[in-house]
Every structure is written in C-alpha cells, then in structure tokens.
C-alpha cells in the first residue's frame, strides 16, 4: 500500500492510502482511524449499487456495528452539488441525530466528495470526514487538498471552505466500473498536474494514454499514485491557496465559466477543464507566454476529446466562447445592497 502523508499544520495530519482492493479491508483501516463507531455514508444510487454492500460488509468485518451505520443517497449529477442538496443532508443528519462525533464517509466521485465535505465542514461546525473517491478524477484530484464546496447557479464552487479529512482511502480497482468518458475526465486532471509540475509524468501519460483508456489496472494505479504525490506537494506548500496553489487552476478559470454557462449539465467538469486548458494555452501563446511546441503537445494529448468540443474550442480561442446562447443569468444585485445601512 502507498501511504502519502499530508501534514497541513504541526497538529493536523492525515493519510492518503492507495491500494488496489483496499475497499474490502477498509473496515480494519477505519477502525484505527476513527474514534466513534457512528458513521453516515453519503453516496449516489449508481455508486451505492456498485460498492455500497462491499463497503458495509468491510465495515462489519472491521468490527463496526451496522446498527450504528446509516447510508444516505443523493441523486447523481453536478446539478445536485448545490445548497439545496446540502440542506437536504442537514435535515437528514438532524433526523438521524448526527452529532459532532459522527463520521461522514463520502463514497463517490468529485460531486459526492465536495458536497459531503461541505456538509461535514458546516454541520455543527465540523464532523469527522473520510473520503473514498470512486472516480479517477476524485482519486487524482478532488479528494486531495481539502477544498470542499457547492455550486451556485452563477458561479461554480463559490460556496465552500477548506476542510481536511481524517483520511482518504483510494482503491483503483473501483475504476474498472467507470465509464470511458469518466476515465477521460480523470486523465484530463492528471494531464493538468503533469503540465504544471512534471514533464516526466507528461511524457509517461503520452506514452500510456491508450492503455489507460482501456483501464489497464497497473497503469491506472501508477497514475493515481503519481498524480496524488504531485498534488500533495503543491498543497503542502500552500494549503489555503494564497499563492502557489493557484497553479492548480490551470484550465479552470475558463473551464468553470463554461460549466456555469452550460447550467452544470451536458458538459462534464473534465471536459470543461480540457477546453479551458486549450483556450488558456492559446491565450498564453498569443501573449508570448508559452512555446508553439507546448501548444502542439497539449493539443495532441487532448485530441481524444469529442470532435464537437474540439471544434468549439478552436472557434472560441480566436473569438467568442463556445457555448450555445444560454439564458442570461439574472442581473447581479447592487453591492452594497441599498437596504443595508452601515454604521458610520
């Protein structure tokens, strides 16, 4: 098993444990990590169908009493990473008498991880949180670094916090059930980190990309370990994104805007980030900030994107952004709001 320590401050540290098949023995690991045995698992119907029973039986094997364990499903999809779903979860936690010693387990992709993390950070000012990321994107990126958030119709990830988990348990075996599209979405975030931090990893991705698409078990495991190590390195130097960590937003400034414009539907986060990387590269190139060689390399490695997306990014990088004319967002409220009076 690969264990990567994330030491955020002198007294705050957690481990990212990566091992093929770790889900089966998770109960044993978890019994050493959390103090109270009361757990609430948050997941969605698809992930529950694949891995819910496996997780519960592994908890039982690890000595947990299943009577103290609840599981809550929320619907699948980015549009449910919202304040209204968070409210639904607060209601459920209250009904189920969750208290500050109740551990929340996020079993799912980045949507479940970000949402559960946000609820864990805010319910009763903080509950213990454990991530079990089940998409490639969540394993290489969203479960690492403590950013938790929900989306707002006008801005992505805008309501959130930094909240570190007690542990992250990553099982690359669960990627075998992932759709081809979601394998690609995860590879996009791996490419992002490679561009930012490791030419050697970029070359490795170029060489192995076709076998990764075919879900080659050992290569996927290697990819997850490398990407996590690279991201942890950056996060440790700047846990609250005051400077250096902003590099991880490569592709995201534009990518997030595209997701908002698409109403968090029809365009996945990975696809939006891929387009964002292409467009941001073009902007950098136009400003003389990156080489032609790099632009060619990034276009080449992202050539697996659907051709409809690629043509829209080519159009947008010269002129307007690619997205269909969607309804205009409501006009922003004046700030400060006229009804607010400030003491002088």
Ligand X SMILES: NC(=O)c1ccc[n+]([C@@H]2O[C@H](COP(=O)([O-])OP(=O)(O)OC[C@H]3O[C@@H](n4cnc5c(N)ncnc54)[C@H](O)[C@@H]3O)[C@@H](O)[C@H]2O)c1
Q: Which residues are catalytic?
A: 125, 147, 189, 231, 241, 245, 249, 252, 256, 269
Residue nearest to ligand X (CB): 110
Nearest of 169, 83, 161, 174 to residue 125 by alpha carbon: 161
Asked if residue 317 binds ligand X (CB under 6 A), the reply is no
Among the candidate windows 5-13, 41-49, 66-74, 205-213, which touches ligand X by CB under 6 A? 41-49
Q: Which of 59, 104, 111, 221 binds ligand X (CB under 6 A)?
A: 111
CB of 137 to ligand X, least distance (A): 4
CB of 121 to ligand X, least distance (A): 12
Say if residues 93 and 119 touch (Cβ distance below 8 Å): yes
* x/- map, 266-305, ligand X, by CB under 6 A: ---xx-----------------------------------
Asked if residue 165 binds ligand X (CB under 6 A), the reply is no
Q: Which of 37, 39, 110, 322 binds ligand X (CB under 6 A)?
A: 110
Asked if residue 322 binds ligand X (CB under 6 A), the reply is no
Residue 64 vs 118, nearer CB to ligand X: 118
Asked if residue 70 binds ligand X (CB under 6 A), the reply is no
* x/- map, 120-139, ligand X, by CB under 6 A: --------------xx-xx-
Asked if residue 50 binds ligand X (CB under 6 A), the reply is yes
Q: What is the H or E stretch that residue 301 is in?
A: helix 292-301
Size of the site for ligand X (CB under 6 A): 29
Instruction: Please report, as residue ranges, which positions from 173 to 192 form the binding site for ligand X (by CB under 6 A).
Output: 174, 177-178, 182, 185
- For residue 238, give every residue at least 6 positions away whose Cβ sits within 8 Å of its Cβ, in sequence order, or none: 244, 245
With 0-12 CB in 10 A as exposed, 13-18 as middle and 19+ as buried, what is 212? buried
CB of 80 to ligand X, least distance (A): 9
Bond prior to 275 in cis (omega within 30° of 0): no
Residue 26 vs 37, nearer CB to ligand X: 26
Structure tokens at 133: 């990321």
Q: Which of 22, 26, 47, 279 binds ligand X (CB under 6 A)?
A: 47
Residue 37 vs 147, nearer CB to ligand X: 147
Residue 39 vs 47, nearer CB to ligand X: 47
Pairwise CA distance, residues 65 & 61, whole Å: 10
Pairwise CA distance, residues 57 & 26, whole Å: 10
Q: Give me the residues that bind ligand X (CB under 6 A), please.
A: 44, 46-47, 50, 76, 78, 81, 108-112, 114, 134-135, 137-138, 141-142, 145, 147, 157, 174, 177-178, 182, 185, 269-270
């Amino acid at each position: 098993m690969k264990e990567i320590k994330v030491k955020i401050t002198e007294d705050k540290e957690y481990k990212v444990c990566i091992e093929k098949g770790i889900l089966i023995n998770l109960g044993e690991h978890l019994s050493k990590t959390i103090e109270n045995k009361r757990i609430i698992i948050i997941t969605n119907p698809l992930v529950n169908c694949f891995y819910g029973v496996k997780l519960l039986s592994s908890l039982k094997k690890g000595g947990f009493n299943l009577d103290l364990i609840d599981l809550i499903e929320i619907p699948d999809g980015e549009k449910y990473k919202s304040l209204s779903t968070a409210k639904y979860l607060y209601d459920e936690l209250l009904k189920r008498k969750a208290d500050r010693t109740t551990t929340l387990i996020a079993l799912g992709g980045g949507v479940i991880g970000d949402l559960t993390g946000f609820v864990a950070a805010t319910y009763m000012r903080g509950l213990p949180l454990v991530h079990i990321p089940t998409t490639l994107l969540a394993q290489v990126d969203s479960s690492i670094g403590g950013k938790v958030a929900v989306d707002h119709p006008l801005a992505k990830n805008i309501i959130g916090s930094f909240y570190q988990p007690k542990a992250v348990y990553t099982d690359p075996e669960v990627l075998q059930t992932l759709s081809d599209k979601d394998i690609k979405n995860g590879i996009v975030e791996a490419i992002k980190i490679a561009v930012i931090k490791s030419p050697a990893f970029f070359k490795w991705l170029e060489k192995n990309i076709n076998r990764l698409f075919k879900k080659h078990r050992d290569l996927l495991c290697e990819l997850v370990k490398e990407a996590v190590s690279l991201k942890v390195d950056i996060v440790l130097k700047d846990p609250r994104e005051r400077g250096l960590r902003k590099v991880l937003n490569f592709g995201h400034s534009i990518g997030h805007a595209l997701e908002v414009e698409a109403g968090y539907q029809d365009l996945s986060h990975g696809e939006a980030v891929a387009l964002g990387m292409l467009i941001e590269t073009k902007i950098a190139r136009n400003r003389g900030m990156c080489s032609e060689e790099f632009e060619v390399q990034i276009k080449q490695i992202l050539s697996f994107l659907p051709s409809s997306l690629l043509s829209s990014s080519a159009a947008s990088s010269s002129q307007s952004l690619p997205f269909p004319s969607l309804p205009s967002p409501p006009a922003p409220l004046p700030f400060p709001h006229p009804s607010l009076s400030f003491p002088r």
